Amino acid sequence: MARPEVMPLGGSQRERVRARLRSEHTVCRACGGVDLVIGDALFLGFVFHSEPTDAYMIGLTCANPSCPARYTGIRLRAREFLDR
Amino acid sequence: MTAGGHEIGRGPLTTVVMRYSGLGRLATLLEYFAFDLPRTTTAAGVTLMAGLAAAHAYLIDGGTADPAYLNVYRALIVTGSLVAIALMSLPGPARAGWRLGSLVSVVALAVYLASRTAGLPGMPLLAGRWDCPLGTVTMGVAALFLALHGSVLTGVNVAYPRRRDWYD
Amino acid sequence: MDVYGFPAWLRVEHWINALFITLMVRSGIEILATHPKLYGRDDSRPGSEWARFTRKTMPKDKLYDTLDEEESYSPIISLPGHRNLGMGRHWHFFVAIGWVLAGVTYVALLFATGQWRRYIPTSWGILPQAWHDLLTYLSFRLPPHLPGEPFDALQKLAYALVIFVLAPVAILSGLAQSPAVDARFPWFLRLWGGRQRVRSLHFFVLLAFLAFTAVHLLMLAVWGWGRENSLMIFGHGDAPVGGLWVSLVIIAAIIGVNIAVTVWSLRRPRMVQRVLGAVVMALRRALLRPATSHQHYPKAAVAAQHRVNGKPPDSDTYKIMAVHDFAPWRLTVGGLVENPVVLTLEDLRALNTRQSQCVLHHCIQGWSSVGEWTGLPLRDLLDLVRPLPEARYICFLTMQDNGRDEPSAPGEGHFYEIIDLELAHHPQTLLAYEMNGEPLPIEHGAPLRLRLENQLGFKMAKWIHDIEFLSDYRLVGDGMGGWREDNVHFDMEVGI
Ligand SMILES: [Zn+2]
């Protein structure tokens, strides 16, 4: 059963997230792996009071099977990955 | 000015009066009370007007030797109350209905108080005669209508056809 | 000559009642302040309230919760004021127990001594007499007393209504707001038209007592304050001057008690919580804990929007868990158990029992909502971990850090709640991972929350990540049985 709060990303959105990861040289914080699988997005702006009203968390999963903490994420604003 | 936290309109005159009369404090207190019962409010206003009309209709003629102008006055109050009831129940002129109701109430209250204090032309014996249940009811009903209309004007109540736009 | 007189027990009862009513009214207003909105429907849908006693408005672009909506009223009108629901509840229930005991004694004595005739009319003739009395009052004159009785017909009817209608309605409409009573006897709540209607009615009871008191005091002044008080203090009307002065002393004493308990509650809330809580809790355990939830609301009753009390964990760890649909989340179950376990959400869902219940949620603040909850019955988790014989309590630790997540709650630290192990055996005690047929939403406790259908909402910990079985809870937190008990002085067991 899909969690309604979690929003799947489309191809172009995924591409923008990937470009962002590349430009920031983002690596897995647990194992240093560079292969991060981009998952879904969670809108943070409404339920979390510390977040800007257009903040999202993008799920990232480390592809390294022996990684000690495979689940991670990157926080983006709407304009940074959503289609205009 | 707010009602239940939500802004309601207020003119410049009201602003000045509020600031310099000390009514501002009362207004702040009233802001803690807000009801969304437009139909109940209007029904209450209609009932009070009907009470005022009935009390005055009961006194018309009745075989007493009241001066003719008094019966004309009573008929005017009855008519005014009934017109107010009709207007208050219609979505368009409801606000005018409430104003008419208040006007009728003020007149009825003033005339009753005048009749019991100064006395009326041709009816001097009424002065000081407070022991009349119907008169007490008239005063009470008129005062209650004014208070109810006041609650609508201050935003404590809303009357038909208005509604609150509360979202929280 | 008044054949009924004013016997000593009646006079004592009158003044005790006067004190109790002031405490009940003020503590009742404190309870109203925590959610100063009244509804007609049990979903308490935001914006659907028919009355609100607050100046606050809530944001539209951010999640707000019912703690943000709380009002802080002055101690002049509420006991103890300054936003102290915990204290208000202690006083309301403690005094209610005394008030009910005094009331039952009073009514018993009325019937034992034949004094009931002073209030209960025995002939329909009272109605035209009362009408005539009303006209007399409206003429600004005083009607005659009934022959040989202390009151006129209208007064007699008014007292009969207060004693035999208003007071019972006050008690019953209060009881009808108990989650334990409503869970055990859903028909009783339906009798009152629902949880929010009965809450509104309870508010009208408050207004009725205030109106009665105002008219009562006015009548005393009109009939003669000194003489009337002489009757109610000395039992005869021959000492109006003494009646006047002693009545002023008694009123000062009533005000003094009100001030004293207000100051005590504001300065030493923990002590009040322990002292009053001991009395109220004993009664709750005896009467309300056995109440087992038998609720089966129709799915059509499910609220479109369920209000929220408490904000979700505002941490990256939590947000990352959520975006991965809680795949990284683990539930640790340990403490005094034979078989401690660590479970994933998948593990929980895969456990072969899965139970759904459509029930009424009672928030301690007074709002309610109907929801359908699905999850693992807690007793099935017990079967899995097998608590040791010395385990008596279950502690639910959550990911919510109140200092960080909830600006509207005074206090720091992670939210936790402890329940008596006995409650875990109730058939509708559930670890819920679904709500209304979908994964449990973040604001309602994702991925796992507790459902205790005969308790108030705050005991149903949300965002749970650890469950510990304990023999004692006095060393956990401040030792009061939960975060709210520690920080805002609620009671540990809340069947009402
Ligand atoms: Zn890694």
Residue B83 lies in a domain: yes
B61 vs C363, higher pLDDT: C363
Q: Would residue B160 count as lying in a domain?
A: no
Domains contained in chain C, CATH given: 8-35+70-287 (1.20.950), 299-487 (3.90.420.10)
Q: What number of CA atoms fall less than 13 Å from residue C245's CA on the CB side? A: 3
3-class DSSP state of A59? strand
Residues 6+ apart with CB under 8 A from A84: none
Nearest by CB to A53, which of C61, C319, C321? C61
* Alpha-carbon gap, residue B23 to B32, rounded angstroms: 15
CB B141 within 8 A of CB B51: yes
Amino acid C311: pLDDT: 96
Residue B21 pLDDT: 77
Instruction: Determine the residue type at C138.
Output: L
Looking at the structure, tell me whether residues B63 and B101 fall in a common domain.
yes
CATH number at residue B110: 1.20.1270
Which among A53, A5, A72 is positioned nearest to C316, based on CA atoms? A72
CB atoms within 10 A of CB C248: 12
Give pLDDT, residue C192: 97
Nearest in space to C36 (alpha carbons), one of B91, B33, B140, B139 = B33
Neighbours of chain B (3+ CB pairs under 8 A): C
Same domain, yes or no: B119 and B96? yes
Mean pLDDT, residues B68-75? 92
Mean pLDDT of B134-142: 96
- Chains meeting C at 3+ CB pairs closer than 8 A? A, B
Confidence of residue C145 (pLDDT cuts 50, 70, 90): very high
Model-level pTM? 0.95
Mean pLDDT within C96-106: 98
Q: Residue B168: which of C57, C134, C140 has the nearest Cβ?
A: C57
Which tens digit of pLDDT belongs to each residue from B149-158? 999 999 999 9
Query: For B165, which residue in chain C has the nearest alpha carbon?
Result: C47
**Residue C340: pLDDT band with limits 50, 70, 90:** very high
Q: Which of C34, C23, C36, C15 is nearest to C77 (CA)?
A: C23
pLDDT reading at B62 higher than 70: no
DSSP assignments along C231-246, one per residue: HHHHSSSS-HHHHHHH
Cα separation of C451 and C460, whole Å?
A: 5
With beta carbons under 8 A apart, name residues in chain A contacting C312. Answer: 47-48
Cβ count within 10 A of residue C221: 10
Q: How confident is the model at residue C389 (pLDDT cuts 50, 70, 90)?
A: very high
ipTM: 0.97
Q: Beta partners for C451?
A: C430
Statement to judge: residues B3 and B59 lie in one domain: no
Q: What percent of chain C has pLDDT over 70?
A: 100
Q: Is the residue at B162 inside a domain?
A: no
pLDDT at B3: 61
Query: Which residue out of A36, A37, A71 would a mutagenesis test of the C interface target, given it has the greatest number of C Cβ atoms within 10 Å?
Result: A71
A46: nearest CB among C62, C324, C405:
C62
What number of helices (H) and strands (E) belong to chain A?
Answer: 2, 4
Q: What is the pLDDT of residue C316?
A: 96
Q: Verify that B64 and B5 share a domain, yes or no.
A: no
| CA A66 to centroid of ligand 1, rounded, Å | 8
Kindly list the domain boundaries of chain A, sorted by start residue: 6-79
Residue A83 has pLDDT above 90, yes or no: no
What's the distance, Cα to Cα, between the start and end of chain C in Å?
47
Please list every residue in chain A whose beta carbon sits closer than 8 Å to the beta carbon of residue C314: 48-51
Kindly list the residues from chain C whose CB atom is less than 8 angstroms away from the CB atom of residue A1. 434, 438-439
Considering CB atoms only, which of C51, C54, C134 is closest to B5? C54
Average pLDDT over residues C58-82: 96
Q: In angstroms, what is the C-alpha Rg of chain B?
A: 18
**How far, in Å, from the CA of A31 to the mean position of ligand 1?**
4
In a domain, B131, yes or no: yes
Verify that B18 and B59 share a domain, yes or no.
no
| Residue B168 within any structural domain of the chain | no
Residue with tokens 């969690």: A3
**Which candidate from C323, C325, C443 shows the least CB-CB separation from A47?**
C443
Confidence of residue C381 (pLDDT cuts 50, 70, 90): very high
The DSSP secondary-structure symbol of C343 reads E
Given an 8 Å threshold on Cβ–Cβ distance, is C69 in contact with B168? yes
Residue B1 clears pLDDT 60, i.e. is over it: no
A72 contacts on C by Cβ (under 8 Å): 320
CA angle (C332, C334, C335) in 5-degree steps: 145
Question: Over the stretch C415-458, which tens digit does the pLDDT of each residue have?
Answer: 999 999 999 999 999 999 999 999 999 999 999 999 999 999 99
Distance A33 CA to ligand 1 centre (A): 5
Residues B74 and B138 in one domain: yes
Chain A meets chain B (3+ C-beta pairs below 8 A): no
Instruction: Please report, for residues B123, C118, C146, C205, the alpha-carbon distance to residue C143 in angstroms, rounded to integers and kept in the order given.
Output: 28, 17, 9, 28
Task: State the residue range of the domain holding B142.
Answer: 35-153
Q: Say which DSSP state C146 is in.
A: P
Same domain for B76 and B10: no
pLDDT at C1 over 60: no
Q: Which backbone phi and psi does C332 adopt, to 5 degrees?
A: -95, 130
Query: Does the pLDDT at position C318 exceed 80?
Result: yes
C-alpha distances out from residue B112 to B58, B116, C392, C481, Å? 15, 6, 74, 65
Give me ligand 1 centre to Cα A59, in Å.
Answer: 13
Q: CA C282 to CA C279: how far, in whole Å?
A: 5
Position C4 scores a pLDDT of: 86
Same domain, residue pair B78 and B124: yes
Distance C330 CA to ligand 1 centre (A): 19
Ion ligand 1 — residues with CB < 5 Å:
A 28, 30-31, 33, 62, 64, 67
Report whether pLDDT(C42) > 90: yes
Residue-level pLDDT at C27: 98
Does B20 share its domain with B84?
no
In this predicted structure, what is the pLDDT of residue C221?
95
Per-residue pLDDT at C475 exceeds 80: yes
The C-alpha atoms of residue C106 and residue C159 are separated, in whole angstroms, by: 13
Task: Report residue B19's pLDDT band, with 50, 70 and 90 as the boundaries.
Answer: confident
Q: What percent of chain C has pLDDT over 90?
A: 98
CB contact under 8 A, A4 and C439: yes
**Distance in Å, CA C322 to ligand 1 centroid:** 18
Mean pLDDT across C90-113? 98
* Interchain proximity C61–A71, CB inside 8 Å: no
Residues of C with CB under 8 A from a CB of A: 61-63, 311-312, 314, 316, 319-325, 327-328, 405, 407, 434, 438-439, 441-443, 446
Cβ contacts of residue C256 below 8 Å, gap of 6+? Answer: none
pLDDT at B105 over 80: yes
**Mean pLDDT calculated for residue range A28-34:** 91
If you write DSSP's letter for every residue of C312-342 in order, what string do you get?
A: PP-SHHHHHHHHTTTTT--EEEEESBSS-EE
- Residue B58, chain C, CB below 8 Å: the answer is no
Enumerate the residues of chain B whose CB falls inside 8 A of the CB of residue C47.
164, 166-168
- Check whether residue B148 and residue B137 sit in a common domain: yes
Range C237-247 average pLDDT: 96
In whole angstroms, give the CA distance from residue A12 to residue A24.
18
Chain B partners of C141 at a C-beta cutoff of 8 Å?
A: 131
Q: Are residues B53 and B6 in the same domain?
A: no
Confidence of residue A51 (pLDDT cuts 50, 70, 90): very high
pLDDT given at position A84: 67
C64/B36 Cβ within 8 A: no
Query: Mean of the pLDDT values across residues C205-219?
Result: 97
Domain tally, chain B: 2
Mean pLDDT of chain B: 90
pLDDT of residue A1: 76
- For the stretch C76-85, pLDDT in tens is 999 999 999 9
Cα separation, A39 vs A45, whole angstroms: 19
Cβ-nearest to C323 among A1, A39, A49: A39
pLDDT surpassing 60 at residue B117 = yes
Query: Is the model's pLDDT at B5 over the cut of 80?
Result: no
Task: Note the helical H segments in C114-194.
Answer: 126-138, 153-161, 167-175, 179-184, 186-191
Contact C460, C449 (CB under 8 A): yes
CA dist B43 and B54 (Å) reads 16
What are the phi and psi torsion angles at B149 (to 5°)? -65, -40
Give pLDDT, residue B10: 66
pLDDT at C413 over 70: yes
Judgement on whether residues B29 and B73 belong to the same structural domain of the protein: no
Ligand 1 mean position to C328 CA, how many Å? 13
Give pLDDT, residue C352. Answer: 75
Per-residue confidence (pLDDT) for residue C117, from 0 to 100: 94
CA C63 to the chain's CA centroid: 26
Of B5, B37, B132, the CB nearest to C57: B5
**Helix, coil or strand: residue C168:** helix
pLDDT of residue B2: 58
B32 touches chain C (CB under 8 A): yes
Pinpoint the alpha helices (H) of C235-310: 240-267, 269-287
pLDDT in the model for residue C465: 98
Tell me, yes or no, if B116 comes closer than 8 A to chain C by beta carbon.
no
